Amino acid sequence: MNRTQVLLAIPGNWSSAEAVNEQISLHSEGYTMAGLLLLEDETGKAFTVEVIERDPALAEAMIHASTSGFTPKIAKGLARHTHIVYLIVDVNDVSDIAAARRAANALLNAGGLGVMVETAGVAYSKEEWQESKEEDLALDYSLLTAITEEETAYMSWGMKAFGQADVAVPSTLDVEDAIHVIHSFNFHLISGGSMFGDGDSFAFDDGRTFTVEMGEDERTSIDNLLHNPFGLIYLVPQTTEG
C-alpha cells in the first residue's frame, strides 16, 4: 500500500483549545493528548491534531457535503461550533484506516459534532459516523470515499486514503450500475485484489468486462486536498461484437 494521509475535520463546542485536551482526557475512552499528538493508549498509535477557532465556511461545507442531508437540529449545531479539531492520520496500511475511524470516534465522544472527510469532500453527523464501531474495511471505505456525477462520468473521491487511484466510469451507465462498478473495483483494490495496468481488463461474474485506462487526476489542482496523487482510472465498458 502506498503511504498517504487522511485529513478529518471535527467541529465541536469547546470553550478553548485547552478544553479540547481536557474533554479528551475525560471522555475519549482510551486516548491521551500529548502536546499536538493524540495517542491511542492500547496500540500506541499517534495522530497529529491541530485545533483552530470556529470557521463558518466549514459548517456550510459540511451541510452541503452531507451524504444523507443533516436535520435542521444537526445543521444548527454545526453552525454554532466554537472550535475545530483537525485530525491528521499517516496511513501505511489498512490498519491505520481503522485507527483513524477510532480516533475520530474518540474526538466525537469528547464533544465533536460531526466529521468532514477533507480528502473525499464528504461529511457525516456524529450519529452517522458512530453508527457502527465494528472493525470493518467495507465500513471504513464507505466513510472515507464518495461518488459524484459529473457531466460525462461518475467518479469516486477519497481513494488516496487507501493509497489507490480514484475511478471513473462513463455517464452512459445507469447510476446504480455505475455506483456498483466503482465500488466493486475500488473494494477489489483495497482488499488485496490483483493490481491492474493500462489496457488490462476487469471482469464481472455476469460477463461484463471493462478496459482499464490509467491516467492522472486532473480534476483539481495538485495542492487541493481532494487531488489524488495516485491518479484516476477510467473503466471503459467493452462491447461484444456479434
pLDDT top residue among 145 and 22: 145
| More confident position, 134 or 20 | 20
Q: Give yes or no for a contact between 202 and 235, defined as CB atoms under 8 angstroms apart.
A: yes
pLDDT at 240 (0 to 100): 65
* Per-residue pLDDT band at 134 (split at 50, 70, 90): confident
The cell for 92 is 501505511
b/e 175-208 (16+ beta carbons within 10 angstroms → b) = eeebbebbbebbbebbeeeeebeeeeebeeeeee
What are the tens digits of pLDDT across the range 180-209? 999 999 999 999 888 899 999 999 888 889
Residues 106 and 89: beta-carbon distance below 8 Å: no
* Residues 119, 7 contacting (CB under 8 angstroms): yes
Q: How confident is the prediction for the chain on average, in pLDDT? A: 92
Q: What is the pLDDT of residues 86-102, one digit of tens each?
A: 999 999 988 899 999 99
